Amino acid sequence: MSTKSKSINTKTDTNQDERLKKVSKLKLLLNRPELGALGGAILVFIFFGIVAGDTGMFSAYGMLNFLDVSANLGIIAIAAAMLMIGGEFDLSIGSMIGFAGICIAIPAIYWGWPLWMSIVFAFSMAVLVGYFNGILVVKTGLPSFIVTLAMLFILRGATLALTRLITGRTQVPGLRVLIENDPVAWIFATDTFKWLFTWLGSMKLIALRTDGTPLATGIPPSVIWFIFLAIITTWILMKTRYGNWIFASGGDKIGANNVGVPVGRVKISLFIGTAVAATIFATIQVLDAGSADTMRGTLKELEAIAAAVVGGCLLTGGYGSAIGAAFGAIIFGTVSMGIFYTDVDTDWFKVFLGAMMLIAVIFNNYIRRKVTESK
């Protein structure tokens, strides 16, 4: 033993990188949780490139279409992934979307609030709901699956009951006129890079409408939010102290607590994160549609979790990546839209979703065994 340690010490002192070089780049990549999702996304693109390459799916308009769907799912999938890495679930994401929608629409339409104030109100409610979920899970020690399942029903029920009570119906239209000149709404409702699309249109590089304006008018706000969130969450996970705490809280909450990680606070903040992400999703959709619907977001929580799992998150926590969840969302978004461009009946989408998830879980399990097995 002593001779061994001696030789290692001298090695360490002289050249530390020497031993690191032995691990090839490929092997390092194989250990990344998002690898499966990245590979899956590439396969999906290749598949549709072959099957639907000439159908307009990969025109500017078609691409923005499936990117928009992917991005919307991605926004909540990333937050769900962060929470899963932190060791918890949030099944109330979908209900939160519906709830946030009417939190914007009712004050704006029925109470005469300015739109920005309604949006701020919706986000405040999201923080409250997330905090409530988090504190319940942390304080009671109950599985988050149960706590947030209860919240799924409570929120959806309250959304429906309150909306009918206040408005007498289940949809609140009329928001579109309020967007213009609002100081906040543009953040969730502006297509960006319009000049680029106008230019591409003028160069006849992308499809035009009959009036000469391009069919695809700009990058939708969901895509910008999606990219922004993917970058910021990945940075948090890889580069910050809080990121390390998320992994630690999910990996072993007792151990993490024992070495001074504020596990409770980390988990509560992640629950707030999923509720806020649901509200971003809701705000974008409500402003895009110009109306809030009490049933908006139904079952979205399961799609978000599916995307996170495909993206490499373990259901037991402590492992996963935000960028993986983003790829997972891209896979689902692309397939759900791409299927329209093929001859396949769209009913098969759910079958694909389930099969994809199953494969991902098996793959992830294998990876985890590989990562944790003793040498």
Partner 1 sequence: MSDYLVQFNNISKFFGKVIALKGVTMKLRKGEIMCLLGDNGAGKSTLIKTLAGVHKPDEGEIIVEGKKIIFDSPKDALDIGIATVYQDLALVSLMSVTRNFFMGREPMKGPPFFKTFDIEKANKIAAERMGQIGIDVRDPSQAVGTMSGGERQCLAISRAIYFGAKVLVLDEPTSALGVHQASVVLKYIVKAASQGLAVILITHNVHHAYPVGNSFTVLNRGKSLGTYEKKDITREKLLSMMAGGEELDKLEVELKEMNRLSAQ
Q: What does the binding site for partner 1 look like in residue numbers (CB under 8 A)?
A: 1-2, 4-5, 8-9, 12, 16, 19-20, 22-23, 239-241, 243-245, 247-248, 251-252, 254-261, 314, 318-319, 368, 371-375
Based on C-alpha coordinates, what's the Rg of the chain?
23
Nearer to partner 1, 12 or 140 (CB): 12
- Shortest spacing between CB 170 and partner 1, in angstroms: 44
Contact 110, 369 (CB under 8 A): no
CA dist., res. 192 & res. 223, Å (int): 10
Contact 188, 119 (CB under 8 A): yes
CA dist., res. 132 & res. 142, Å (int): 13
- Shortest spacing between CB 2 and partner 1, in angstroms: 7
CA dist., res. 339 & res. 48, Å (int): 9
Nearer to partner 1, 213 or 258 (CB): 258
Residue 343 CA neighbour count, 13 Å, CB half: 2
CA dist., res. 284 & res. 78, Å (int): 16
- Shortest spacing between CB 8 and partner 1, in angstroms: 5
Which residues, other chains included, contact 174 with Cβ-Cβ below 8 Å and sequence gap of 6+?
109, 290, 291
Contact 21, 166 (CB under 8 A): no
Site of tokens 């948090």: 236
Nearer to partner 1, 22 or 204 (CB): 22
Nearer to partner 1, 191 or 252 (CB): 252
Two tokens, residue 283: 């705000």
- Shortest spacing between CB 91 and partner 1, in angstroms: 24
Q: Give the residue from 97, 136, 125, 149 showing the smallest Cα distance to 268.
A: 136
- Shortest spacing between CB 248 and partner 1, in angstroms: 5
CA dist., res. 269 & res. 159, Å (int): 24
Nearer to partner 1, 69 or 261 (CB): 261
Q: How many angstroms separate the Cα of 233 from the Cα of each of 68, 215, 351?
A: 19, 32, 30
Nearer to partner 1, 347 or 373 (CB): 373
Nearer to partner 1, 164 or 370 (CB): 370
- Shortest spacing between CB 209 and partner 1, in angstroms: 45
- Shortest spacing between CB 310 and partner 1, in angstroms: 18
- Shortest spacing between CB 83 and partner 1, in angstroms: 16
Nearer to partner 1, 170 or 244 (CB): 244
CA dist., res. 294 & res. 163, Å (int): 7
- Shortest spacing between CB 312 and partner 1, in angstroms: 12
Which residues, other chains included, contact 267 with Cβ-Cβ below 8 Å and sequence gap of 6+?
86, 87, 88, 134, 137, 138, 249
Nearer to partner 1, 210 or 374 (CB): 374
